[in-house]
Amino acid sequence: MADQAGFTLHIDQNKYLARDAREVHAILTISSAGEAVQQQAPAEAAEVIIVDTSGSMSGSKIRDARTAAATAVEALRDGVHFAVISGTSVAKVVYPGGTGMARANPATRAEAQRAISQLSARGGTAIGEWLKLAGHLLSAHPDAVRHALLMTDGQNNERDEVFAGVLAAWSGKFVCDSLGVGADWVPAQLRMVSDALLGTFEYVRNQHELADFFRRITQNAMAKTVPDLSLRVWVPQAATLKFVKQVSPTLLDLTGKRTDVNPLTGDYPTGSWGREEREYHLCVEVPPGQVGQEIRAGWVKLVRPDTQEVLASGNVLAQWTDDLALSTRINPKVMHFTGQQELHELIQGGLSARAAGDEAAATARLAKARQIAVESGREDTVRLLDKVVEIDPVQGTARLVRNVDKADELELDTGSVRTSRLRRTAEGS
């Protein structure tokens, strides 16, 4: 369906279920590439740039971080509310100072860049404190596209429960994209930020490229035109919505972020939108039906939570059959993204087993991950997996690589949340 807002929702599924089968899977492809989205005026926006200035950032790192932050400021549109935070064991607004945000214009951008040029490295790392301050700044602009850009080179020093509490308190309130620099940061910690705040996290392997990452992420944030949309999912009574996951362009599990609309309906936040396409995987468990019976297993809408405006909608169907050919057919998109999620889980499990010294489990999981990566055309992931697991071309046996470069491991870990689109030949087959 498409409407005046320029959004479309397409549902891929095999609606046919075998007798007594209960699980319904569907891939929702949502596109905002319509003319109405493209022609919208830039949305009101609020941006917070968070720079790790802890002691480990000394030397060339802080110099590259200053350049990167100044580059991000330069990429801000005129009129955007913005602030720059220096992050150590505490969080401090280094521009504009006080408790508010400045509006971007040539004068304020120049002032911010002068303040950034004075950043120095000392102290600890408390990522929760940085995000808490960013949240307070951004909450003063509830109608804006609210975004934070965070970079760090180290491990969070806060207690686990403190960090988790901050993420829970600000979950869904703004989007945060994170960057890890160097070899001492912990992907699992930035993954927690990504999961809570609906953003991405990436590894900057070459710190001298930090400015390019800051520029690209800021430009992407400036391109958002529609703030804070939700997927509204209805399932029938006696059915269970097992999960809602974003599966492209990155993996994000939205299941635990549900806000109840009524007993049968819940909203799942998707963040702000520009001109883009995303895909979501929905799984509903329904009561078994009679052969020939068709039901609506789900009703999906893309909505503005503040106005309740419906931008696009579609139905997930289920029909029971005793035709084995119909019930065993797997939709290509469902198969593809199920494989992409398995790939991520195998890489994460394999790296965890390797770190724990369980070579057998690590080898099995990483070898299986490589097989899926090859089959789904993930050449970038195959290249990285080849650096941690070797496959004998004759015997087909696998073994772990010794003395893996930490940078290769970080790149593999971080990249596992990115997915590939279904190749058109497979989609059309």
| pLDDT, tens digit (0-9, with 9 covering 90-100), for 139-183 | 999 999 999 999 999 999 999 999 999 999 999 999 999 999 999
Average pLDDT, the chain: 94
Task: Specify whether 158 is located in the same domain as 231.
Answer: no
pLDDT at residue 239 is higher than 60:
yes
Choose among 13, 15, 27: nearest CA to 277. Answer: 27
**Which tens digits make up the pLDDT trace of 75-112?**
999 999 999 999 999 999 999 988 899 999 999 999 99
The sign one gets for the Cα dihedral 174, 178, 184, 189 is: positive
Which residue range is the domain that position 81 belongs to? 45-222
**Which tens digits make up the pLDDT trace of 105-131?**
999 999 999 999 999 999 999 999 999
CB 213 within 8 A of CB 204: yes
pLDDT for position 421: 84
Region of 91 on the Ramachandran plot (φ > 0 left; ψ -120 to 50 alpha; else beta): beta
How many domains, in total, are found in the chain? 3
pLDDT for position 224: 93
**Which tens digits make up the pLDDT trace of 9-18?**
999 999 999 9
Is 277 domain-assigned? Answer: yes
Residue 166 and residue 105: Cα distance in Å, rounded? 32
**Which tens digits make up the pLDDT trace of 264-295?**
999 999 999 999 999 999 999 999 999 999 99
Choose among 52, 27, 28: nearest CA to 339. Answer: 27
Residue where one domain finishes, among candidates 199, 222, 245: 222
Residue where one domain finishes, among candidates 191, 222, 253: 222
C-alpha separations of 32 from 18, 233, 254, 316 in Å:
35, 19, 20, 20
Band of pLDDT at residue 33, cut at 50, 70 and 90: confident
Task: Specify whether 73 is located in the same domain as 194.
Answer: yes
pLDDT at residue 39 is higher than 60:
no
CB 28 within 8 A of CB 282: yes
Task: Specify whether 256 is located in the same domain as 150.
Answer: no
CATH number of the domain that residue 342 is part of: 1.20.120.1690
In b/e form, how buried is each residue of 228-237, taking b as 16+ CB within 10 angstroms? bbbbbbbbee
Is 1 domain-assigned? Answer: no
The tokens describing 192, both together, are 């927690």
CB 210 within 8 A of CB 181: yes
Secondary structure E strands in 72-174: 81-87, 91-95, 102-103, 145-152
Residue 305 and residue 139: Cα distance in Å, rounded? 17
Global pTM value = 0.93
Task: Specify whether 253 is located in the same domain as 356.
Answer: no
Residue where one domain finishes, among candidates 292, 327, 362: 327
Task: Specify whether 132 is located in the same domain as 186.
Answer: yes
Helix, strand, coil shares of the chain as percentages rounded to 5?
35, 30, 35
Q: How many C-beta atoms lie closer than 10 Å to residue 359's C-beta?
A: 12
Q: How many C-beta atoms lie closer than 10 Å to residue 368's C-beta?
A: 18
